[in-house]
Chains A and B, each alone.
Chain A
Amino acid sequence: MANSLRKPAVLDPMYYPVVALVIVLIACVELSDAVTAVDVYRLVQYDISGVPFGSRLSTLNHHAGSSLFASGSSSDLSRTVLILPVRELNLTLITEYIEQKKLLGGLLLLLPPKFSPENIDSTFGADKDIDSLRNKLVELEWLLTHSNIPYPVYFAFEDDNINAVLAEVRRNDASGQPATATTGGYKLVVAASDPKRIASPNIANIQGWLPGLKVDGDSNQLPTIAIVASYDTFGAAPALSVGSDSNGSGVVALLEIARLFSALYSNPKTRGRYNLLFGLTSGGPYNYNGTQKWLRSFDQRLRESIDYAICLNSVGSLGNQLHLHVSKPPENAYIQQIFQGFSAVAEELGLQVGLKHKKINISNSRVAWEHEQFSRLRVTAATLSELSTAPELLESTGGLADNRHFTNEASIIRSVKLVAESLARHIYSQEQKSISIFADDSSLAVNPSYIRSWLDLLSTTPRVAPFLSKNDPLIKALEKELADHTAEVNVQHETLDGTFAFYDSTSAKLHIYQVASVTFDLLLLLVLGSYLITLFTFLFITTRGLDDLISLFRRPPSSRKVKTA
């Protein structure tokens, strides 16, 4: 019994929940006491066949700086986070800085609020600066996504809070007192875990099937026309890559075409003798990897039944020029037939359609256009795009500069009319007549509000494929929309080609703290110490007298004397 009594209870188990609660409370309280918390979006981090690109780090805990040359060339910026507004950014300087692989604590790039995907309602007006700013952003994006940057790079949008911080940081820098641990200033903290490689990037292809009218007794399979658009994007900041034009416009056009033809095909009298296949493919920026996997999954008979495929890519920006990109020689009869169909309708719409031929190099893994994936499998295909030349890998894939403001509904409507009209004339063999099936006031008119709502949705939804989950709301929404217009919808889940690897943590919260320096605290300690000593002396003298105070210091020797005496 004595034994059990003596047994030391370090902590009664009853108190464990209490202790845990206290710890949780303390942890909660410590998270949110910053002067400002800002949403930040990290620069994409990815590998192409093992070669690293983008920002390789995510955690940030350094003082703020405002200029690459804050205090002479001697200063070391490896413990400083530079806050640079893109508006005033000097591209050549930053290019040099990144190419020379100089170290930085981190980089925070401030984008103008107009480029925020959430800011789709505001109008730009006729602003000349916007165009140059947009070009600058495109260049910056290209630079950042094609360099290996060994420090965290974040994007944020300018707002009053962050501008105030920046102004103060600049003032400190100008006065020759850049923020370091000893002088105080602002500290930028992003508490993020280390970016992890996404194990198997998922890509989902959504396919809708609209069967044509089969005449009884006809054993032959009906020919198929495919309309395809890739819906995913790639950009410097995956959480901001909404790609309104590339390729949001293509997706919107495809959905509208599907809607129009579903109206036609719902009535047996107007159902055409062609099957229509609608494909929303993923993996577009990565050599149309999703398209390739989608086509491979077709069975031979279906693939051979495809008469031709029209791929829609970037059809939403202002301008009267569209290009039909093909891989087969332009003299090819099928190509000629498609092109003539398009140009006849284009003429009526006041558009110009040019034919552009680019040969496929089978040994080169680069696939610049979606139709090239079809052509590699010997299916006639063409891409309709406003781009006149083939983009490089990861170029024009819906990055930072591609948002709702630069995408025009009227252009999309025109493109929809062009494709739908020429398809309809082909399906109903009306090529020679200039009839208008989808006339503006008819029941089959293009619906501008439908186009606007889908364009707005896509312009606010980042769609970088590796960061979309299998059951992402966007994929579900696209699937449901196609299901409304077509008879049969399938979603095909595939894994992205292994040469591309992506890392997570695309967005985070940046906390900006105003910190005091160590020297300030040391000084404060000195002041407080002298205050307390003064207080002590004052109280001692007033209550006990000066002599007592003096004797306080003399007592030890005197008491010894008393003892010895």
Chain B
Amino acid sequence: MTVFHFFNCAILTFGPHAVYYSATPLSEYDTLWTSIRAAVVYLVTALVKLVCLATFLNVSESDSFDPYQELLKALFGFIDVAGLYFALTQLTHRNISQNHKFQAVGLGWAFADSVLHRLAPLWVGARGLEFTWDHILQGLEANANLVFSISLAALGSLMWLRKNKPKTLIPIIYACAGIVATMPSITSYLRRGLGWHLPKVVGFELFSSLLIAFISWQLFVACQRPSN
């Protein structure tokens, strides 16, 4: 029964990644290798980030929200952006279109994040006898994270790969990318600064991820128009 629950939570956490890969044209163009390389870049980035956090951040004894520390954390959050930049521009991709490249990179990125951050707690927690909603909520969080990652990759590809984009949209693109990159700090603020509970935070994440996805989609479409 508890293995059953673990199975359910694992489906919720990792299923959407697989579905995304098989349902979109990514599978047709065989972009798996790109995703895997993006995942490797994520792992390296996470390691660098961990080292930076461990070097510059104090371990807070209390669970309160410390603005200075959070600012530092948000700054380190941009290491992610740098990693994504590397994955999008420096890795030699086989000739797949930019459309598919950012999706593959975002997918690999999100999957690596899920494996790194959610697999171990799931394995340990969801198989126990004790039932909590936490693991289901974490699965939903992973879904939101997938959407965020793909949105960020889309915005990144707009920023760095597309040359002839409308000038008016550039600030919007950068603002959106900034918001997505600081999303971990925002949720951390909601949770600790405002004392939101996990269901509320996850709800916010899901909602904002859909909003960001919609905006970046519109931006992408708008940028594509002049080239056509």
A interface residue numbers (CB < 8 A to B): 26, 29-30, 33-35, 181, 184, 187, 189, 511, 513-516, 518, 521, 524-525, 528-529, 531-532, 535-537, 539-540, 543-544
Contact = CB atoms under 8 A, between A and B. Distances in A.
The CB with the most chain B CB atoms within 10 A, among A35, A514, A524, is that of: A524
Contacts of B130: 33-35, 513-515
A35 B131 CA distance: 9
23 contacts: A26-B124, A181-B1, A187-B129, A511-B129, A513-B129, A513-B131, A515-B130, A516-B1, A516-B131, A518-B4, A521-B1, A524-B5, A525-B8, A528-B15, A532-B16, A532-B19, A535-B16, A536-B19, A536-B22, A537-B23, A539-B23, A544-B24, A544-B25
A514 B130 CA distance: 5
The 9 closest A-B pairs by CB, nearest first: A539-B23, A516-B131, A513-B129, A33-B128, A513-B130, A536-B23, A540-B23, A543-B24, A521-B4
Q: Which secondary structure characterizes the binding site on chain A? A: helix
B105 interface: no
A535 B23 CA distance: 9
B136 interface: yes
B12 interface: yes
Contact of B12 (A34, A528, A536, A543): A528
A521 to B, nearest CB: 5
Interface of B: 1, 4-5, 7-8, 11-12, 15-16, 19-20, 22-25, 124-125, 127-132, 136
Contact of A514 (B1, B16, B23, B131): B131
A198 B210 CA distance: 66
Nearest to B132: A514
A499 to B, nearest CB: 42
B25 A34 contact: no
A521 B16 contact: no
B1 A518 contact: yes
Contacts of B4: 518, 521, 525
A524 B136 contact: yes
Given A26-B124, A515-B1, A521-B1, 7 more contacts: A34-B130, A35-B130, A513-B129, A525-B4, A525-B8, A532-B19, A537-B23
A30 B22 CA distance: 35
The CB with the most chain B CB atoms within 10 A, among A33, A187, A511, A521, is that of: A521
A305 to B, nearest CB: 66
Nearest to B16: A535
A531 B140 CA distance: 11
Contacts of B25: 543-544
A539 B12 CA distance: 17
Contacts of B128: 30, 33, 513
A262 to B, nearest CB: 54
A516 B124 CA distance: 17
B164 to A, nearest CB: 24
A525 B23 CA distance: 20
Nearest to A516: B131
Contacts of B5: 516, 521, 524
B15 A532 contact: yes
Nearest to B99: A543
Contact of A33 (B20, B24, B125): B125
A458 B186 CA distance: 58
Given A33-B130, A514-B131, A544-B25, A539 B8 contact: no
Contacts of A34: 129-130
A536 B129 CA distance: 32
A34 B127 CA distance: 12
A455 B127 CA distance: 48
A555 to B, nearest CB: 13
A524 B1 contact: no
B222 to A, nearest CB: 17
A184 to B, nearest CB: 7
A184 B19 contact: no
A422 B176 CA distance: 96
A473 B93 CA distance: 74
Nearest to B11: A528
A35 B125 CA distance: 12
A312 B151 CA distance: 84
B23 to A, nearest CB: 4
A539 B5 CA distance: 27
